[in-house]
Amino acid sequence: MNLINKNMQKIKIKKYINNSNVSRFRFWIQLLSFFLFVYGGYFFIEIGSRLPIFSCPYVEGSPGGCYLIGVQHELHSTWATIFSPRGISILKSLGIFLIFFLFLNKAWCGFVCPLGTLQDWITRLRKMLGFSFVRYGEMSFKRLKSIKYILLFLLILIPLAIKNSFFGLPFLPEGMHTPFCQICPARIILPLFTGDTSQIFVDFTDPATIAMTSLGLIIAALFLVGSFVKKRFFCFFCPMSALQFLFSKIGILRMVKDGDKCTRCGNCSRVCDIGITEIADDVLSKNIVKDDCMMCFKCVEACPEEDALKVKVVNFDIFSATEEGFFKRYGETDDPEHLEKHGLLNSNKEKDE
């Protein structure tokens, strides 16, 4: 008897979660994370410096550091150092990064990254003003999506090429150290939230720094304009996203698709902030986390087919697409006249009483 009760409870909880509005939950998590990763340092919070998000150390209140800055520093060494016992620290920090990363997988981008959150807020602003958004066409999407891999490759290569010569080529100038940070919009924009405008500058030390920091300013401006017209504009080019995707398959948090249940209606790709189309069109892959995915789970919310899309922790389902959930989120009217016609106004009142 107890077992049945427990099972009933389980079903009830499951139903509650599947009917819930994950996007609203995500909004609050993002808000909390933003405060944590921009102001946490002021409260003596220390999270580590190998984080899989743009927790930027240039922000005064940052409680930790982004792994990309670490990796650029570590690779700013000669081959001899890298292959000496000191090189082990490179592996060690990769390990720490992975431990962090594997817990949330790409949901770090969708739920935690302060730069991602900022873009979502800019989107909210655009919506409030009633402007339409822009989407990439199929061809440009395919062409542009490789940029993040190129950036990742460069941020690894440039520090190495400062200290080492490749194929007898001359060393790159020292001014290009931590090249990605120099062009990263997080370095310029996030400090603004602590009232720090000191990152808006061009470093006149040498030609290399002039070029890199000017590029940084241009990219920061593009970031603001871009994310106003295009949802999650920057994430599409983010080298962190590229790095994460290399390890996404072994993440603990997973998102799976049952292609047999999919009608390819495209609801999921319609609501996708990035504009991933495979989520709707691919009916063969089970693991449906693509390289641009940020695991915001809006697609699961928008899917009306029972269990076609599922969020899992290892092998436990934690959030599934359901018919009921879909209609709760997308189909229910809030028009009182309409509710009354369907006799829903009264039944809701009765429930309240």
Interface with other proteins (CB under 8 A): 127, 130, 132-133, 137-138, 260-268, 270-271, 280-281, 283, 298, 302, 304, 323, 326-327, 330-333, 335, 338, 341-343
Strand order from edge to edge, sheet including 253-257? 253-257, 309-313, 316-320
**Minimum separation from the CB atom of position 219 to other proteins (A):** 26
**Minimum separation from the CB atom of position 109 to other proteins (A):** 18
**Minimum separation from the CB atom of position 263 to other proteins (A):** 4
In 201-335, where does DSSP find H-type helix?
Answer: 207-229, 239-247, 267-271, 278-281, 298-301, 323-326
Task: Give Cα separations from 303 to 133, 157, 180, 293, 316 (angstroms).
Answer: 22, 42, 37, 16, 19
Q: How far apart are CA 36 and CA 2, in angstroms?
A: 42
**Which of residues 23 and 214 has its CB atom nearest to other proteins in the complex?**
23
**Minimum separation from the CB atom of position 348 to other proteins (A):** 14
Nearest to 75 by CA among 165, 161, 151: 161
Residue with tokens 């431990």: 99
**Which of residues 130 and 195 has its CB atom nearest to other proteins in the complex?**
130
**Which of residues 98 and 344 has its CB atom nearest to other proteins in the complex?**
344
**Which of residues 14 and 328 has its CB atom nearest to other proteins in the complex?**
328
Packing angle, helices 147-163 and 67-74, rounded to 10: 30
Judged by DSSP in three states, 212 sits in helix
**Which of residues 220 and 268 has its CB atom nearest to other proteins in the complex?**
268
**Minimum separation from the CB atom of position 309 to other proteins (A):** 12
